[in-house]
Amino acid sequence: MKLSRRPRRIRELNAIKQMVQEFTLRKEDLILPVFISDHCNGREKIESMPEVYRWSIDSLLEQIGKWQAMGLNSFALFPCVESQKKCPYGKEALNPESVCYLAAKEIKAHFQDTILIADLALDPFTDHGHDGILDSAGKVDNDQTVDALCKSAVIAAESGFDIVAPSDMMDGRVGEIRRSLDAAGFEKIAILAYSAKFCSSYYGPFRDAISSGQKTPIDKSGYQLNPANFREAMLELELDEQEGADILMVKPAEPYLDVIKSAKENFSLPVAGYQVSGEYSRIWAASKMGWLDLDQCAMESLLCIKRAGADMILTYFAERIASKL
C-alpha cells in the first residue's frame, strides 16, 4: 500500500515510546484513602476490599513510614467507630477525641511532611447511615447538616489536617465551611469539595469499611447526583468554585470520565477524581476469577482518569501502583 502516514512506525520504536507518551502517572498524583478504627488492634481485613485494612492509630503510625518510603505522602482519613458511638445526629463527628482527629494529631507529631485530608461527612457517625441529620419527615435537613459540618471542619483544622473534604453534597456547604474556617483563624486550610458526587452503586465496599452498611438499602438520591445528569454535575462544580473551593472532585471517577474532562476544561481549579471502592473491588474480583490482569488493569484505569483531566486521584491502588512507578 502507498500510505503517506503510518502511525505504527512510532509505536514499534520502543526506545522513544516514553518520549511521545502524552500522559504519565506519577506517585505524586496519588492520594491513599485510609480507614482508621477506634476498636481494632493492629490492622483488620476488609473482606470486600482485598489488601485494604482498618488500622488502629498505633499500627497506622508504623505504616505511614513505610508508605512514605514508597513515595506516598498524601492520605485521606476515614473513621470506623463503634456502633454505640453512632446516633441520629452524628454527634461523634463533633468530638475532638474522635479517632480521626486523634490520628491526625499523632501523624503530624511524627511525620511533618505529610498531607492529611479530613473527610467531612456524618454517615460514619449516624445510626441511620445518611450523610446528614434527618428532619421530622425523615429527609436530610440541609442547613442543620451544614452547621455540623462547619463545626467538624474547625475541629479537623485544630487537629492538624491540611485539607477538609466535605462529601455530603449539601447545598451551600463549601461557602459556609470557608467562612467558619476563616473566622476560626484557619485561612490556610484548603477545601477539597466533593463537587460532583453521584448517587452511585459503586460505594458498597466503602460502607463495609466504615461499618455504615444497613440491612436495607439507603436512598441517597435526595442529595447525591443522578448518574444520568451531566449538566447538573456541571452546576454543582460551578457553585463550589464560586463558594471558595480550592479543589473540585468528581466521584466515582472512571464511570464519569466525561465529567472529569469537562471540569478540567471549564474551571481553573485543580480537579480530583476518586476511584471508589467498587471500582477497586471489581478489578480485584475479576482478577481473582482469572479474567483480568490486576496490575495492568489498575494501572490502565488510573492512567485513564489522569488522561481525562484529574490532577490528583484518590485510589486504594496507591500503594500497589506506587511500588511500580
pLDDT per residue over 268-314, tens digit each?
999 999 999 999 999 999 999 999 999 999 999 999 999 999 999 99
Cis peptide before 252 (omega within 30 of 0): yes
pLDDT at 25: 95
What is the phi/psi pair of residue 251, to 5°? Answer: -145, 130
Q: Find where cell 445518611 sits.
A: 130
Q: Find where cell 493492629 sits.
A: 42
pLDDT at 62: 93
pLDDT per residue over 140-154, tens digit each?
999 999 999 999 999
- State the amino acid at position 67 in one-letter form: W
Domains present along the chain, CATH in parentheses = 23-322 (3.20.20.70)
Q: pTM here?
A: 0.95
Has 66 been annotated as catalytic?
no
* Mean of all residue pLDDT scores within the chain: 96
Burial class (CB in 10 A: 0-12, 13-18, 19+), 317: buried
Whole-angstrom Cα distance, residue 319 to residue 323? 6
Has 197 been annotated as catalytic?
yes
Q: Which residue among 197, 220, 264, 306 is the active-site one?
A: 197
pLDDT at 283: 98
Q: Which residue among 86, 251, 264, 306 is the active-site one?
A: 251
Residue 73 pLDDT grade (very low, low, confident, very high; cuts 50, 70, 90): very high
What is the phi/psi pair of residue 98, to 5°? Answer: -65, 160
Residue 242 pLDDT grade (very low, low, confident, very high; cuts 50, 70, 90): very high
Q: Are 58 and 37 in contact (CB under 8 A)?
A: no
pLDDT at 215: 65
Q: Is 124 helix (H, G, I), strand (E, B) or coil?
A: coil
